[in-house]
Structure 1
């Protein structure tokens, strides 16, 4: 509280600057809250989910050395020319694609978009959701072939190919931070994860360093790469990784 309170009352231009503290203040709508606890909660939630994705991506990349080499070439071509910037990170289509594919096959859980009905809702098919009912949406369809061709198989090139064929690849619905009913890794709708852009940048920076500086190999336990806790899909605690320092190409990381 000592360090955050001055920031809470710092005057800023809401048109050009914002922060989690200001967002919390506005969202509270005058209700009492502990801003320090809420800020720590947001920090923990962002690190937990971001590292969950990072672990799953590394497991998939470990089994696809050709993909790793191609991503390495992409990093050298783009980051090597432009430096490690937000703009260059956005242009790493193949890395973005590999991350989105890992999230597609192994999202945070088998269900998503947890909601509480604030009033009674009647759906078009006549189903009634009473006021106060907790609901969630199954995410299983995004993991199989009902939506994506060969959807049971990991294809790190999948979304890069789709973006390359799109008219405007920078605003493509196939990039990691885009959400849809067919890919709800970050949720969907008005309450989609507000931190997904941070998560994308966080993980891309981490993966650029790992891929360029290390050769790595993941050893999975007999139970597989994930373990379930309720409907949550977590990286298995028995995963082991062997890493070896490599002589990275001279680029500005």
Structure 2
């Protein structure tokens, strides 16, 4: 994966291909990902520790379905994708999503009038734990996104980790979602597979708080410790 090459290839005009703009685009992406992707990865590691029954399932899936020579080596690893989505659902990086400032007055479908200058957002954390959207919303269950045949299905809403819609606003709005979400997805999958193939791990304190609010952001606690032990079994040669 080459982020810089992606920026170049997605620039279609001479004005977009100037060195100054390419540097600005790269800087914006790196700044945005400097804290959010590590936070999401930390929450995914917490989820692996808290739900260790999935570790061996993910190892087995990777052994059978990881294709390092393919353009998309994780294409058939549907459980890993579902695991990341469920971790994101229960551990959003912010209680709010799609935060906007009102530039002209408008009326919501509910009839609420929003004056100019107000800030408005989607209550992401509440949406992701809404029992009318997700069955048993407080439980961690990646299989909610998988069919009986082990394939990602559409139970009334999109199901991939990188998908976007009103039931899953983790990446923003469907009209203008996060453009770096595929980059985040690939990087997260590489990191998690390296971890599960090379280490056994657990939380030092299973019942201790693992996050806190900073304004509306949900931030991993710095004092949460994960204990790692190198595995003695053969490592995955493709990672």
The bucket for the TM-score relative to the shorter chain is: 0.7 to 0.9
List runs of 5+ in structure 1 lacking aligned partners.
Answer: 27-32
**SS of 1:251's equivalent?**
coil
Say whether residues 1:143 and 2:129 are aligned partners: yes
Using the TM superposition, give the Cα deviation of residue 161 of structure 1 relative to its aligned residue in structure 2, in angstroms: 3.8
Structure 1 counterpart of 2:209: 224
Using the TM superposition, give the Cα deviation of residue 145 of structure 1 relative to its aligned residue in structure 2, in angstroms: 2.3
Is the contact made by 2:153 and 2:159 (CA closer than 8 Å) also made in structure 1? no
Structure 1 counterpart of 2:44: 57
Using the TM superposition, give the Cα deviation of residue 47 of structure 1 relative to its aligned residue in structure 2, in angstroms: 3.0
Using the TM superposition, give the Cα deviation of residue 222 of structure 1 relative to its aligned residue in structure 2, in angstroms: 6.2
Q: 2:29 aligns with which of 37, 42, 56?
A: 42
Using the TM superposition, give the Cα deviation of residue 213 of structure 1 relative to its aligned residue in structure 2, in angstroms: 1.0
Structure 2 counterpart of 1:158: 144
**SS of 2:175's equivalent?**
helix
> C-alpha separation between the residues in 2 aligned to 1:190 and 1:220?
41
Using the TM superposition, give the Cα deviation of residue 250 of structure 1 relative to its aligned residue in structure 2, in angstroms: 4.3
**SS of 1:148's equivalent?**
coil
Q: 1:211 aligns with which of 176, 186, 196?
A: 196
Is the contact made by 2:152 and 2:159 (CA closer than 8 Å) also made in structure 1? no
Name the TM-score, length of structure 2 as normaliser.
0.83
Say whether residues 1:98 and 2:83 are aligned partners: yes
Say whether residues 1:131 and 2:116 are aligned partners: yes
> C-alpha separation between the residues in 1 aligned to 2:109 and 2:89?
28
List runs of 5+ in structure 2 lacking aligned partners.
Answer: none
> C-alpha separation between the residues in 1 aligned to 2:81 and 2:180?
16
Structure 2 counterpart of 1:66: 53
> C-alpha separation between the residues in 1 aligned to 2:111 and 2:238?
58
Structure 2 counterpart of 1:30: none
**SS of 2:82's equivalent?**
helix
Is the helix fraction higher in 1 or 2? 1
> C-alpha separation between the residues in 2 aligned to 1:192 and 1:85?
26
> C-alpha separation between the residues in 1 aligned to 2:21 and 2:64?
46
Name the TM-score, length of structure 1 as normaliser.
0.79
Distance 1:97 1:119, change over 3 A: same
The range that moved more, 154-163 or 109-118, is 154-163
Say whether residues 1:89 and 2:100 are aligned partners: no
Using the TM superposition, give the Cα deviation of residue 135 of structure 1 relative to its aligned residue in structure 2, in angstroms: 0.9
> C-alpha separation between the residues in 1 aligned to 2:39 and 2:71?
22
**C-alpha RMSD of matched pairs (Å):** 2.8
